[in-house]
Chain A
Amino acid sequence: KAGVTQTPRYLIKTRGQQVTLSCSPISGHRSVSWYQQTPGQGLQFLFEYFSETQRNKGNFPGRFSGRQFSNSRSEMNVSTLELGDSALYLCASSFDQGEQYFGPGTRLTVT
Chain B
Amino acid sequence: AQSVAQPEDQVNVAEGNPLTVKCTYSVSGNPYLFWYVQYPNRGLQFLLKYITGDNLVKGSYGFEAEFNKSQTSFHLKKPSALVSDSALYFCAVRDGSRGSTLGRLYFGRGTQLTVWP
Contact = CB atoms under 8 A, between A and B. Distances in A.
A14 B42 CA distance: 24
Contact of B105 (A6, A45, A105): A45
Given A42-B109, A99-B34, A99-B49, A90 B43 contact: yes
Contacts, number: 61
Interface stretch (B18-26, B72-80, B96-104): B96-104
Interface in B61-117: 90, 94, 96, 101-110
A contact face: mostly helix, strand, loop, or mixed: strand
B96 A97 contact: yes
Interface stretch (A48-56, A67-75, A76-84): A48-56
Given A42-B109, A43-B90, A48 B102 contact: yes
Nearest to B110: A42
Interface residues of B, number: 23
Interface in B19-55: 32, 34, 36, 41-46, 49
B36 A102 contact: yes
Interface string A88-106: 0010101001111111110
A105 to B, nearest CB: 5
Nearest to A42: B109
B103 A94 contact: yes
B102 A97 contact: yes
A33 B105 contact: yes
A48 B104 contact: yes
A55 B104 CA distance: 10
A100 B103 contact: yes
B45 A50 contact: no
Interface of A: 4, 6, 31, 33, 35, 42-43, 45, 48, 50, 55-56, 58, 90, 92, 94, 97-105, 107
13 contacts: A33-B105, A35-B107, A42-B107, A42-B108, A43-B107, A48-B103, A50-B103, A58-B104, A90-B43, A94-B103, A102-B43, A104-B42, A107-B41
By Cβ-Cβ distance, the 3 closest A-B pairs, closest first, are A102-B43, A43-B107, A102-B44
